[in-house]
Amino acid sequence: MLELIGQKAGLKVMDKVFLITGASGGIGAAVARQAVQIGYRVVLVARSQSSIQTLADELGGSTHALALQGDTTQWQDWEQIIALTVAHFGQLDMTLANAGVVKGAWSFYQGDATPDEWREMIMTNVYGTALTVRAALPELVKTKGHLLLVGSVLGRFFLPGSLYSSTKWAITGMAETIRQELRGTGVRVSLVMPGRVDTAFSEPDDNATPMISAEDVARAVLYAMSQPPHVDMSEIMIRPTGQYD
């Protein structure tokens, strides 16, 4: 199926370089595996060097995958990540801003206050995404590349009392403002909004709607990337069949 995606779009992806944040597991790792399968070279970014190095080795080593430890909320880390990417692969063509966390109380009103956990979530989900974009864009403009942001269905529908949902609304707004800013550069901007995904973030709930897998979301990401350069798939919402919000 992945080979067919590339063939139908007439893609030449063997020389394309794809940077993925939050690559140590879940959606990020699934995207990396599928991207390498159809010929992309990938740069894996996460806070844990051991996890992404294991994945890079699985994907064929430094010829196909470069593992770079870094904190997306630290600008000095980003300066090094971009420099090492270009030094190793020579270019940057696609970037997936995927790193995110769920932390702290789910309510603004009830339960214990969790200021430190909230700070970490806001910094990672919003500030970290903004720094990812700012660091990657100069190289993406050079290659007329593709910027992809992982948002959420909760960035389109309100979840009462949820600060996490609010951070995803920030990503929804960020994606559109970036897309408008980049008119005329040839860079495409896609917002991918998953519903309930079966990852480490998911909490067991017998009453919850069915879940999709990280691999399902990865196929949506690769589908957006498979479109010809003149087609900008601005938004993709992907939910389990039957999810009501």
Q: How do residues 58-97 score in pLDDT, each as one tens digit? A: 999 999 999 999 999 999 999 999 999 999 999 999 999 9
Token reading at 194: 């998953």
The DSSP-derived string for 26-93 is: HHHHHHHHHHHHTT-EEEEEES-HHHHHHHHHHTTGGGTEEEEE--TT-HHHHHHHHHHHHHHHS---
Q: What's the pLDDT score for residue 87?
A: 98
Q: What is the CA angle 152-64-151, rounded to 5?
A: 5
60 within 8 A of 54, measured Cβ to Cβ: no
The neighbour count for residue 114, using CB atoms within 10 Å, is: 15
DSSP state of 153: G
At residue 235, the 3 state secondary structure works out as strand
- Residue-wise burial string across 43-72, b where 16 or more C-beta atoms lie within 10 A, e elsewhere: bbbbbeeebbbebbeebeeeebbbbbbbbb
pLDDT at residue 204 tops 70: no
Which residue in the list 40, 109, 127, 164 is annotated as catalytic? 164
pLDDT at residue 121 tops 70: yes
Phi, psi dihedrals of residue 243, rounded to the nearest 5°: -65, 135
Q: Which amino acid is located at 15 in the chain?
A: D
Q: What is the CA radius of gyration of the chain?
A: 17
pLDDT at residue 155 tops 60: yes
Q: Say which CATH topology domain 2-235 has.
A: Rossmann fold (3.40.50)
Q: What's the pLDDT score for residue 208?
A: 59
Query: Partners of 238 in the beta sheet?
Result: 194
Does the annotation count 164 as an active-site position? yes
Of the chain, the percentage scoring pLDDT greater than 70 comes to 89
Q: What's the pLDDT score for residue 9?
A: 42
pLDDT at residue 196 tops 50: yes
Token reading at 74: 């630290």
Q: At a CB cut-off of 8 Å and minimum separation 6, what does 221 contact?
A: 27, 31, 96, 148, 192
Distance CA 116, CA 123 (A): 11
Distance CA 51, CA 44 (A): 10
Q: Which of 66-80, 166-180, 183-197, 202-216 has the lowest mean pLDDT?
A: 202-216
**Domain coordinates of the chain in residue numbers?**
2-235
